[in-house]
A and B are shown apart, each in its own frame.
Chain A
């Protein structure tokens, strides 16, 4: 079974600074997807960024980028120029690439606080 681990329950960053959230996963599959989701307080979960395992190039979305290390099974999220609106729970998630694996497996989450 696949597992996703986020070792940082809480992180704090100063506004306009850069922060990196860690995620490691365990799988025997060679092809899969990895995601970062953001869940603001009392609001719905939204997709921040996704990475296909077969792609060596790290995904980027504006201020958000990932460092995908397939051999190490590591998938960290870097947030540049942090803004107050970035404060939320961040979840790393994994999904297999086959018909039986459409569900997401989530990590335990990292609470990000942004200080003004």
Chain B
């Protein structure tokens, strides 16, 4: 168990640029989640995959955000035309689950995005 891995750890970019983050879940986990955490707040749910299918999307996920999980392994989160308000920590988590049964989620270290 190597844990959930996220890259990069930090990303600094200018407003209007596109950014992409990657998450590698724990290998046997079929469920993958993206959360956003702003400074001093709790994480907020963005989206959820079961295998390669994106099953849930939060209203926070505007049309500038897109997430993929090809082949049900790693996932990418892309933000287009970044805005100041996108500055946050982006957390990825994974779990093993089937139907309503779900093991606890394991979190990665996160990617901290700073918009200049």
Contact = CB atoms under 8 A, between A and B. Distances in A.
Interface in B66-105: 91, 95, 97, 99-100, 102, 104-105
A97 B101 CA distance: 8
A44 B107 contact: yes
B97 to A, nearest CB: 7
A6 B108 CA distance: 23
Instruction: Assign chain A's interface to a size class.
Output: 20 to 34
Contacts of A71: none
A47 B104 contact: yes
Band of interface residues on B: 20 to 34
Nearest to B58: A103
16 contacts: A6-B42, A44-B108, A45-B91, A47-B106, A50-B104, A91-B43, A95-B102, A100-B56, A102-B31, A102-B48, A102-B97, A102-B102, A103-B48, A104-B43, A108-B42, A109-B42
Q: Which 7 A-B pairs have the closest CB atoms?
A: A106-B42, A103-B45, A45-B107, A44-B109, A47-B104, A91-B42, A44-B107
Interface of A: 4, 6, 35, 37, 43-47, 50, 91, 93, 95, 97-100, 102-109
Interface of B: 3-4, 31, 33, 35, 40-45, 48, 55-56, 58, 91, 95, 97, 99-100, 102, 104-110
